[in-house]
A = this chain, B = another copy of it.
C-alpha cells in the first residue's frame, strides 16, 4: 500500500453527536488511522454559531461558519446538522466535488434519499448512514449487506427511544402519560417540543428508511402511515398488560399482498399490542430494537442504545472507518438497490389483528347486535370478553373487549364506524392493533 496523505474529514454540525465525533477523531486519531491504513485529519467543524456551548471541547480554530468551503476541501464529509437544508445542498456539493459522505440525518434520507443515492451513484461516491436508524445499533449494514441475499418479509422496530421510555414507564411504574412525558423531558430524552417523537414523525422517517432498504424499493416519506402515542392512556396500557400484551410504538415495514393479490410494501408507525412473550416486549427504557423476519434467516433481533451523542457517535465513526478504508484501497461506492420497486400499499390494505374495547348498553340482544356488526363487515371475532359493569350512567352499561382475527384496516374502520353509530354502543373506548404474532 502506498503512503497516503492524511484524509481530510469535514464535520458538519457540533451538537451532541457531532461534538462527540470530533472528540473521538481528535483523541483517537492514531487508533482510527491504524484501522484505516492512512492518517486522518479533522479539517474543520461547521457550526451555525461559533460561541454555542458544546458537550465536548473542539479547538476554536477548527470551527467555521463557512460550511461550503469546508466541504469543498474534504475527502470525507460527515453531516450531523440535521434538517433538510442546508444539509441536502451541502451533501450534494460534497458528492459532486468527489468526497465520500456520511450522514445520520433521517429526515433528509426519508425525504431526499433517492436524490442523494442517485448523485452518489453518478460519481461513484460512497454514502453511509448507519447512525440514521437505531443510534448505535448496527442495522443498516445488516439489512444492506448481510441480508442482501435473503428476502426480508417484515420488520418491527422500536426505533424511537423517547416514546419507548414513556410507554415503558406507564407500563412498569403505572405513571400517567403526562407524568411520564414530564420525566422524559426532565431527563433530556424528550425535546421541549416533543411532537417529532410522540407524534411518531421520527419513527415514520426511520420506517421509510428501513422499508426502502429491506425491500429494494423507493418509499416516499409521505407514504408512511403514522399514528403517535398521544391518545394512549394508562388504562389501555394496564388493560393490555392484564391481557398478556405490552403497548409499544412500532415502525413496521412489511411485504404483503393486497386483496387483489398485488405484492407491495407497507411502511407504517403506530402504537400496537405486542405479546408479552415477544422479544420486543422486553425492550425497556430508551433502548431501541429492530426485529427482522426473513425467509431464510428466520427471526433476528438487533438491540441496543437508540440515541445519545456518545452512543450514536459509534455508528458515525464506524461509517468513517468504512468509508476511509475504501477511499484508501480505491474503488467506487456500492449504490443502493431499488430494483424491486414494489408498489406502496395504503393503510387500508394492511391485514392485522385488532383489540377493540367498547362500552355497550346492558340489555338483552346487545351481544347479537354487536356480533352482527362485525360479521357484516367480514371481521371475524376471535375472543370476546365482558369486563366490568359501569354504574355512572342512568342506563346500566357493560364493557366488551373484542379480539379479532386478521382483518383489513378498511374493514376494521368500517366496523368501528358502524359500532359508533349503533344505538346499543355507548362508546368505543379503544382500538389497538396487535403485532408480533
Contacts and interface: CB of A to CB of B under 8 A. Distances in A.
Contacts of A305: 297-300
A303 B279 contact: yes
A37 B337 CA distance: 9
Interface in A309-335: 310-311, 313-322, 325-326, 329-335
A329 B318 contact: no
Contacts of A263: none
A105 B141 CA distance: 22
A301 interface: yes
A335 to B, nearest CB: 8
Contact of A300 (B137, B150, B310, B334): B137
A318 B34 contact: no
Nearest to A33: B339
A130 B146 contact: yes
A294 B314 contact: yes
B314 A297 contact: yes
Contacts of A308: 298
Interface in A111-138: 124, 130, 136-138
A317 B296 contact: yes
Contact-residue size bin, chain A (C-beta under 8 Å from the other chain):
35 or more
Interface in A13-42: 20, 24, 28, 31-32, 34-35, 37
Contacts of A147: 138, 314, 318
Which residue of A142, A148, A316, A329 has the most chain B CB atoms within 10 A of its CB atom?
A148
B318 A148 contact: yes
A34 B149 contact: no
B216 A35 contact: yes
B34 A340 contact: yes
B136 A317 contact: no
Task: Specify which of A138, A301, A305 lies most central, judged by the most chain B CB atoms within 10 Å of its CB.
Answer: A138
A304 interface: yes
A146 B145 CA distance: 12
A35 B142 CA distance: 15
Nearest to A25: B149
A41 to B, nearest CB: 15
Number of copies: 2
Interface string A136-171: 111011100111111100000000000000000000
A389 interface: no
Contact of A34 (B20, B331, B339): B339
A413 interface: no
B321 A148 contact: yes
A429 interface: no
Nearest to A292: B304
A138 B141 contact: yes
Contacts of A137: 297, 300
Contact of A315 (B146, B279, B302, B333): B146
A322 B34 contact: no
User: Which of A297, A304, A334, A339 is most buried by chain B, counting CB atoms within 10 A of its CB?
Assistant: A297
Contact of A313 (B296, B310, B315, B321): B296
A214 to B, nearest CB: 12
26 contacts: A20-B296, A31-B340, A34-B339, A35-B216, A35-B337, A136-B300, A141-B142, A142-B142, A145-B318, A145-B321, A146-B315, A148-B322, A149-B313, A149-B320, A150-B317, A282-B282, A296-B317, A298-B304, A298-B305, A298-B311, A301-B301, A301-B304, A329-B334, A329-B335, A330-B331, A331-B332
Interface of A: 20, 24, 28, 31-32, 34-35, 37, 124, 130, 136-138, 140-142, 145-151, 216, 279, 282, 294, 296-305, 308, 310-311, 313-322, 325-326, 329-335, 337, 339-340
Given A142-B142, A282-B282, A329-B334, 19 more contacts: A34-B339, A34-B340, A35-B337, A136-B294, A137-B297, A137-B300, A138-B138, A141-B141, A148-B325, A149-B318, A149-B319, A294-B314, A296-B314, A296-B317, A297-B305, A300-B304, A301-B303, A326-B334, A329-B332
